[in-house]
Amino acid sequence: MAQRFAAEVVSGSEGRLVQLLTKLGATDVRRLEVGYVVWMGADERVAVVRQCRGVRAVWPVARDELETMVNTASAGRGITVGETVRITRGALALVGQITQLDHGKAKMLTSLFGRPTEVEISIAEAEVVALPEAWR
């Protein structure tokens, strides 16, 4: 019986996973955002997907959860240059200011070891920090 699944993968590994899922006979395979793939497939194939290089986690997804994931994926797209953002996923736990935007990626100016550093991040991993008016 086909069920809907989602996988979190290392950024850049989405294409490899989509190809594997297509070979395994999965249907409705979609890249949801950077680092996430959603598909319909058999439970027996999940073990194969978990062994694929770059896959961090695989879990079953209900229909309402999928809608939440899609809405969350599109929420980060409203970020503009000059806004202060916080990294919500990934290895870095930083706060900084967006200096440049480019096709799902952004450059953020932050402080590492007390020095200003520009870091490239995925927009999907960032959320806008609401600052008090006096700090702007």
Per-residue model confidence as pLDDT tens digits over 64-103: 777 776 655 555 557 888 888 888 776 677 889 999 887 7
* Long-range contact pairs involving 92-98 (C-beta distance under 8 Å, separation at least 24): 92/119, 92/121, 94/119, 95/129, 98/126
Please give the share of the chain, as a percent, with pLDDT higher than 70. Answer: 88
Q: Name residue 57's beta-bridge partners.
A: 8
Superfamily of domain 2-75: NusG, N-terminal domain (3.30.70.940)
Q: What is the mean pLDDT of residues 45-64?
A: 87
For the entire predicted model, the pTM comes to 0.54
Q: Has residue 46 got a pLDDT over 70?
A: yes
Q: In the CATH hierarchy, which fold is given to the domain comprising 79-135?
A: SH3 type barrels. (2.30.30)
Q: Which residue has the tokens 């200011």?
A: 97
CB hemisphere CA count around 96 (13 angstroms): 25
Segments of the chain assigned to CATH 3.30.70.940: 2-75
